[in-house]
């Protein structure tokens, strides 16, 4: 759902098939935007991609059991 290419967007993680950095999602959420607003502003990004990134980050932050 996301990848990094050193030759694109300075090697930042981007949503696959776009040049939209994953960090743009978190910056917009931090600034009070909703996921729906983000998807409206970045139509090349699919909801499934956003959901996958959020799940990935939640898993990384989860406390080991």
Tell how many helices (H) and how many strands (E) occur in the chain.
Answer: 3, 2
Q: Residues 19, 29: contact at Cβ < 8 Å?
A: no
| Domains, the chain, ordered by start | 2-61 (1.10.10.10)
pLDDT at 10: 73
Residue 7: strand, helix, or coil: coil
Which token pair is 19?
């040049």
pLDDT at 11: 76
- Tens digits of residue pLDDT in 2-33: 556 666 667 788 999 999 999 999 999 999 99
pLDDT at 13: 85
pLDDT at 8: 67
């Amino acid at each position: 759902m996301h990848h990094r290419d050193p030759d694109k967007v300075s090697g930042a993680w981007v949503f696959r098939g776009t040049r939209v950095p994953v960090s743009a999602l978190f910056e917009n959420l931090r600034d009070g935007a909703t996921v729906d607003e983000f998807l409206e502003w970045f139509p090349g990004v699919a909801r499934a991609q956003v959901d996958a990134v959020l799940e990935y980050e939640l898993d990384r932050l989860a406390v080991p059991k």
